[in-house]
Amino acid sequence: MINNFEDMQKLNKDGMDATMKSFGALSKVSQTIAAELADYSKKSFEDGTKLMEKLFGAKSLDKAMEIQADYAKTAYEGFVAEATKIGELYVDLAKESYKPFESYVMPKTAPAK
């Protein structure tokens, strides 16, 4: 009976430790994602402001169209790069949050003979 109680206490403590490690990873990666999104938003706003300045300075409609086309291409490429980076951060978030619980889910295999 005592062994079972001690085993339950150890299991409970291990579960709590794994949960706290998972929350720590969640917090760390979430902060990284938030910082990345804030940086992207700031850069996007600055790029939009520069676009408006260039458009107001354009001498002809053709030049304005060229400026707009260049901006659209650059903005799209930047968005795709940022979306890829954020996607990778979310994958890292899932991996890091899961890592403390691997020992509970993954069965321990016997050593190879």
Q: How far apart are CA 31 and CA 111, in angstroms?
A: 40
pTM above 0.75, yes or no: no
Kindly report the average pLDDT of the chain as a whole number.
Answer: 84
Structure token digits, residue 106: 């993954």
**Percentage of the residues of the chain whose pLDDT score is greater than 90:** 50
pLDDT at 110 > cutoff 60? no
pLDDT at 99 > cutoff 80? no
Length of the chain: 113
Main-chain phi, psi angles of 33, to 5 degrees: -65, -45
The model's confidence at residue 63, banded by pLDDT at 50, 70 and 90, is very high
Domain ranges of the chain: 30-101
Instruction: Please tell me what DSSP assigns to residue 113.
Output: -
